[in-house]
């Protein structure tokens, strides 16, 4: 494949990735605004929101992982020109989304009597319960929305999900203003009001997305004519066999970063604050390669479904190469402006001293993070998920966390040691996943 071929494929991938990236960034902005608005009510509500998100997010992320199967299977059907099958995948995905969402809500609600066992202050737990209830209730709605969004994006229709999601962000902010603070004649509900605002916004997002997709020309041919008729269960199990390993991958990755936060707590308050600052920057820039990786998975699915598997290698390696260049730009930005970036969050000298070092390490692991997420996306497009799950487990839990713990405590590197461990885990994941993609796409049939 010539350089022109790589550029052509990359251009198509970026056109698909742009609204996906923008959508993820808008959700991060919403999380930031939510934190600001809840924080104005008081420290306890803010702690309650953080605790609630810690409880619900890992389950929610698992549900998102399951639903990646919708994107992969629809992209293969779309590439093969089988629009009817794409609609059947949507129906199966909705069963998975609703079943998983209801199960997650049940687990969250059932956990209430046991929340005190997690070692949080009693006033934080009591503040969290109403908010956590509404967040849990909104998860089936959110997963259903993600199912429709994956369905449309896999058919080269990413903008409906972006615009309806952006509208939901602004609606959520407005409802926060009304319900948290008691404006427009409503009672001030504090943290509980934020939960209700999230629930209403997610319902609105789903309603407008479905209404849009039903009329969208790109999705009309694949829109199911019958929603409640008989459905073959064997393909549902096939989707779960692909989605479950992806869910495990995401949970292991989120769990590793959560474990690092816990380890920081064993060192001190300054280290926790510094870790939070550095991870905020790293997570924000990560949204760009993440969006590209989702587009890569879709495009790889298109060409394999369309009987052109040789293009999968070009799409994957072209996007990975672009990701390395982009991550290099972010890395330079972090390394050169580390102290300035920390200064936007705090002027405390001790926190600045620790966080500025962590920002430099974050700059280096940007390169690894970009390669691993893009390689993982390309592999999902190939429906290769089992071996990557083992690679991710080894990278984070056999290399990353143990190395970080060893450096932080016996060797007394502190917070820096934990982040070096993170970087080593990401590096191992990048090498393993890239090698796996190179392996499964080599040969005459994929060259």
Are 161 and 136 part of one and the same domain? yes
Residue by residue, DSSP assigns 114-128 as: GGGGG---HHHHHHH
- pLDDT score at 2: 56
Whether residue 135 is contained in a domain is answered as yes
Distance spanning both ends of the chain, measured CA to CA? 8
Whether residue 4 is contained in a domain is answered as no
Distance separating alpha carbons of residues 377 and 296, to the nearest angstrom: 6
- CA nearest 446: which of 379, 358, 349? 379
Judging by beta carbons within 10 Å of its beta carbon (0-12, 13-18, 19+), is residue 119 exposed, middle or buried? exposed
Q: Which domain, by its residues, includes 113?
A: 19-231
Are 24 and 72 part of one and the same domain? yes
Q: Which residue has the tokens 């992209």?
A: 75
- Crossing angle of helices 233-267 and 83-110, in 10° steps, is 40
Are 282 and 412 part of one and the same domain? yes
Residues contacting 102, CB < 8 A, separation 6+: 140
Distance separating alpha carbons of residues 418 and 401, to the nearest angstrom: 8
Number of domains in the chain: 2
Are 224 and 247 part of one and the same domain? no
Q: Which of 200, 231, 262 is the last residue of a domain?
A: 231
What sign has the CA pseudo-torsion 349, 354, 357, 362? negative
Distance separating alpha carbons of residues 16 and 299, to the nearest angstrom: 9
Whether residue 146 is contained in a domain is answered as yes
**Residue 273's CB: how many other CB atoms inside 10 A?**
18
Are 30 and 71 part of one and the same domain? yes
pLDDT digit string (tens) for 174-204? 999 999 999 999 999 999 999 999 999 999 9
- pLDDT score at 1: 52
Distance separating alpha carbons of residues 69 and 104, to the nearest angstrom: 19
- CA nearest 174: which of 206, 197, 196? 197
Q: What is the DSSP letter of 396?
A: I
Distance separating alpha carbons of residues 92 and 89, to the nearest angstrom: 5
Are 176 and 282 part of one and the same domain? no
Q: Which of 231, 256, 288 is the last residue of a domain?
A: 231
| Range list of H helices, 121-158 | 122-153
- pLDDT score at 443: 66
Are 82 and 139 part of one and the same domain? yes
Are 256 and 209 part of one and the same domain? no
**Could you read off the pLDDT tens digit of each residue along the chain, which spans 447 residues?**
556 678 889 999 999 999 998 888 887 777 777 877 888 888 788 888 878 887 888 899 999 999 999 999 999 999 999 999 999 999 999 999 999 999 999 999 999 998 888 777 888 889 889 999 999 999 999 999 999 999 999 999 999 999 999 999 999 999 999 999 999 999 999 999 999 999 999 999 999 999 999 998 888 889 888 777 777 788 999 999 999 999 999 999 988 988 888 888 888 888 888 888 888 888 888 889 999 999 999 999 999 999 898 899 999 999 999 999 999 999 999 999 999 999 888 888 998 999 999 999 999 888 899 999 999 999 999 999 999 999 999 999 999 999 999 999 999 999 999 999 999 999 999 999 999 999 999 864 554
Whether residue 69 is contained in a domain is answered as yes
Whether residue 12 is contained in a domain is answered as no
- Backbone dihedral angles phi then psi of residue 428, each to the nearest 5 degrees: -65, -40
Residue pair 15/154 in contact (Cβ under 8 Å)? The answer is no
In the structure encoding, which two tokens stand for residue 287, read together? 């949204």
CA distances from 338 to 134, 181, 342, 345 (A): 38, 36, 6, 12
Residue pair 391/447 in contact (Cβ under 8 Å)? The answer is no
Are 274 and 387 part of one and the same domain? yes
In the structure encoding, which two tokens stand for residue 26, read together? 């808008």
Q: What is the DSSP letter of 158?
A: -
Are 278 and 203 part of one and the same domain? no
- pLDDT score at 22: 87
Q: Which of 231, 263, 285 is the last residue of a domain?
A: 231
pLDDT digit string (tens) for 398-416? 999 999 999 999 999 999 9
pLDDT digit string (tens) for 275-308? 888 888 888 888 899 999 999 999 999 999 998 9
Distance separating alpha carbons of residues 424 and 315, to the nearest angstrom: 27
Whether residue 9 is contained in a domain is answered as no
Whether residue 186 is contained in a domain is answered as yes
Residues contacting 365, CB < 8 A, separation 6+: 282, 419, 422, 423, 426, 427
Backbone φ/ψ region at 423: left (φ over 0), alpha (ψ -120 to 50), beta: alpha
- pLDDT score at 362: 93
Residues contacting 313, CB < 8 A, separation 6+: 1, 441, 442, 446, 447
In the structure encoding, which two tokens stand for residue 231, read together? 């459905």
- CA nearest 303: which of 84, 16, 2? 16
Are 152 and 267 part of one and the same domain? no
**Residue 317's CB: how many other CB atoms inside 10 A?**
21
Whether residue 265 is contained in a domain is answered as yes
Distance separating alpha carbons of residues 356 and 370, to the nearest angstrom: 21
Question: pTM score > 0.85 for this model?
Answer: yes
Distance separating alpha carbons of residues 202 and 169, to the nearest angstrom: 9
Residue pair 147/66 in contact (Cβ under 8 Å)? The answer is no
Are 218 and 283 part of one and the same domain? no
Distance separating alpha carbons of residues 225 and 227, to the nearest angstrom: 7
- pLDDT score at 266: 85
3-class secondary-structure state, position 232: coil
């Amino acid at each position: 494949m010539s350089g022109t071929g790589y550029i052509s494929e990359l251009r198509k991938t970026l056109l698909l990735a742009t609204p996906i990236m923008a959508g993820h960034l808008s959700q991060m902005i919403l999380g930031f605004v939510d934190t600001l608005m809840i924080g104005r009510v008081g420290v306890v509500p803010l702690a309650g929101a953080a605790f609630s998100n810690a409880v619900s997010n890992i389950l929610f992320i698992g549900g998102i992982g399951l639903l990646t199967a919708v994107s992969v299977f629809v992209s293969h059907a779309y590439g093969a020109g089988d629009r009817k099958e794409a609609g059947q995948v949507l129906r199966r995905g909705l069963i998975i989304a609703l079943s998983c969402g209801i199960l997650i809500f049940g687990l969250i609600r059932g956990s209430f009597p046991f929340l005190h066992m997690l070692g949080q202050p009693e006033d934080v737990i009591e503040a969290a319960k109403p908010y956590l209830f509404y967040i849990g209730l909104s998860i089936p709605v959110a997963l259903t929305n993600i199912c429709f969004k994956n369905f449309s994006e896999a058919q080269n229709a990413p903008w409906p999900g972006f615009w309806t999601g952006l509208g939901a962000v602004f609606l959520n902010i407005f409802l926060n203003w009304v319900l948290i603070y008691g404006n427009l004649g409503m009672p001030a509900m504090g943290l509980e009001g934020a939960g209700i605002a999230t629930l209403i916004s997610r319902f609105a997002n789903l309603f407008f997305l479905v209404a849009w997709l039903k009329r969208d020309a790109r999705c009309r041919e694949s829109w199911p004519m019958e929603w409640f008729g008989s459905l073959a269960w064997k393909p549902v199990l096939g989707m779960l066999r692909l989605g479950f390993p992806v869910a495990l991958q995401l949970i292991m990755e989120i769990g590793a970063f959560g474990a690092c936060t816990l380890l920081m707590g064993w060192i001190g308050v300054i280290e926790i604050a510094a870790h939070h600052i550095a991870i905020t920057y790293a997570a924000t820039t990560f949204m760009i390669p993440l969006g590209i990786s989702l587009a890569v998975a879709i495009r790889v699915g298109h060409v394999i479904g369309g009987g052109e598997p040789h293009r999968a290698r070009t799409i994957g390696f072209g996007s990975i190469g672009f990701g390395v260049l982009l991550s290099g730009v972010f890395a330079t930005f972090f390394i050169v402006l580390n102290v300035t970036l920390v200064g936007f969050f705090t002027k405390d000298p001790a926190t600045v001293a620790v966080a500025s070092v962590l920002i430099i390490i974050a700059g280096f692991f940007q390169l690894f993070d970009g390669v691993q997420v893009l390689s993982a996306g390309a592999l999902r497009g190939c429906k290769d998920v089992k071996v990557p799950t083992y690679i991710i487990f080894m990278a984070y839990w056999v290399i990353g966390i143990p190395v970080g713990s060893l450096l932080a405590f016996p060797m007394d590197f502190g917070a820096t040691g934990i982040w070096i461990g993170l970087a080593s885990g990401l590096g191992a994941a990048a090498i393993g996943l890239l090698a796996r993609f190179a392996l499964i796409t080599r040969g005459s049939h994929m060259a």
